[in-house]
Structure 1
């Protein structure tokens, strides 16, 4: 009886410890989805940045015989810990490098988890503009309130070990990755990754699959150029910054190109004709895009940002 009682006590203690550990992880559904021989990804839920405990973006994994390379690290350290937990189910190899698509909060607040494990952080040139801005600290303070306890006083901005300002190749464990420097497209600095042996493109936030993209202060002219360049490649699959992966990358890219081109054409004409934004927006037929998720939340703001940016282009 004493042996049984001791066993029962140990079992309860173990369950209690596991439950306590789980309390430190966000209660979200996160699945590591296999894309190809070397590539997996996790897909965040559609929604605003502070919804779903911050799990609204994607992150990808490249598994090799010599170690793991990550592409982005999600929007909170707690999500990154859960991501790491999922990763350990498919490989026991260490995380050697993290390639950052761009420095927006929903992709980078998990960086500290992997930096503390010794991973090299590689970011696109231009990201330093965000890191050195007042907005970076202001947003972090805001997220500490909106995403507590997952973003807290221990959450910090992690600077990269190096910046990339052009295309380059990285090979680990016989797997070659092509880093594609996109410059100032969606953000102050963007990059994508082509996993060459698999033909898989990790494109970052140049694509929001299945929804209206977030334009923000993007340079839509460069954004379009980069998308059109990538559409020429021979790809087997593409993992976007938001939304599900696609086995038909060219079709997905085409949809985003059409949306951004429409914004530039309609708002460009309004700027040229000196039509006030509110009048121009109300007169525009949004019928081809109004059915897309996040249209109500994002489209008007996107149109306004493009309107302002085209005014600036016209002054140059």
Structure 2
């Protein structure tokens, strides 16, 4: 049996995109496990959530959105700093680019390395990569909570930091009027978790507790289908939590017992695969997930920066 192709480098098939209208002026675009995006109409403007990987990919999303509304984009909200979420920002011509203050710091610290890493891992998402003009810099940041008045009778959009999770800067977007939550990569609905820049123990406990406390009736996760209804929303949150807890248990057991990173990877894969192995990007994510958790358990508080070279070293060590 040959070695697995690196990350998602062999995943070159286009995914079918589905645009859902979740409520009046509330939109979500999902794509069979590819990164999700969304938009919310204000009275005379739009708030877009996530920016896609390149301006070319973003313009394709905007063309679908323009079939429903021609309002200009005033706010572009970025849930976190990862390249496939932010580097399409220039296509939106947004007046304001919003993110958590930690996200801006992470762009400065590791944005360039993440760009090279993610485009090598997921080349299909990097559609016309040369169209990216440079790093995306938030122009408005906050620490805990930011409220956008949507105008008229549309209510508010609440942007909130729930704690460290997928990264140390993830935010969610909450529409109290419609009880719709855009959770970013803090929740995945039947898609594997990428935790290479995560804080696993915070994420699996207090951070997801805060996400669940919104009591959303519809949830748009970072990947996977939209979750409709409280039961489905809670199921998506608990699937995410269970994935994290299994990782913490299995990697922790090997780490505590004096084993190796390779042994931790093999044990974790065996424990997760029966339930999660068929989910999108499972094989892609797991080496990076286990490596980060191993570091975290070893006392390395902040994630080591992923470079294209480090990606290959970890992949070759673990995913053979």
TM bin, normalised by shorter chain, reads: 0.7 to 0.9
| Alignment counterpart, residue 269 of structure 1, candidates 243, 250, 253 | 253
Tell me the equivalent position of 2:77.
Answer: 99
Query: TM-score normalized by structure 1?
Result: 0.79
Q: Which position in structure 2 is the counterpart of 1:6?
A: none
**What is the TM-score when the length of structure 2 is the normalising length?**
0.78
Larger RCO (CA within 8 A; separation ≥ 6): 2
Matched, 1:192 2:172: yes
Give runs of aligned pairs for residues 135-174 of structure 1, distance below 5 A: 135-140=110-115, 143=119, 146=123, 150-152=128-130, 155-173=133-151, 174=154
SS in 1 for 2:129: coil
CA apart distance, 1:257: 0.4
The structure having more radius of gyration, on CA atoms, is: 1
The residue that corresponds to 2:266 in the other structure is 282
- Alpha-carbon distance in structure 2 between the residues aligned to 1:254 and 1:140: 30
CA deviations 1:137-184 (Å, max 9, x no partner) are 244457499567612165221211111111232211232111111343
Q: How does 1:62-81 map to 2 (within 5 A)?
A: 62-81=40-59
Tell me, in whole angstroms, the C-alpha distance in 2 between the residues paired with 1:288 and 1:30. Answer: 25
2:284 aligned partner: 297
Structure 1: unaligned runs, 5 residues or longer: 1-26, 47-55
Rounded to whole Å, the distance in 1 between the matches of 2:215 and 2:186 is: 18
Aligned residues: 276
Q: For residues 182-221 of structure 1, what are the structure 2 equivalents within 5 Å?
A: 182-221=162-201
CA shift in 2, pair 1:65/1:301, >3 Å: same
Q: Go from structure 1 to structure 2 and tell me whether the alpha carbon gap of 1:261 and 1:94 turns closer, same or farther (over 3 Å shift).
A: same
Match of 1:235 in 2: 216
CA contact 1:125–1:183 (8 Å) conserved in 2: no
Q: Residue 182 of structure 1 contacts residue 189 of structure 1 at CA under 8 Å; is this kept in 2?
A: no
* Change over 3 Å in CA distance of 1:58–1:290 after alignment to 2: closer
1:283 shift after superposition: 4.2
The match for 1:7 is none
Name which of 33, 40, 50 aligns with 2:20.
33
Stretches of structure 2 that go unaligned for 5 or more consecutive residues are 1-13, 302-320
Q: What residue in structure 1 maps to residue 240 of structure 2?
A: 256
Deviations 1:52-96 (A, max 9, x none): xxxx31110101322111111111101111122112111121111
Structure 1: distance between partners of 2:219 and 2:210 = 14
- CA drift at 1:130: 2.5
RMSD: 2.5
- TM-superposed CA distance for 1:254, in Å, is 0.5
Greater mean alpha carbon deviation, residues 283-292 or residues 303-312: 283-292
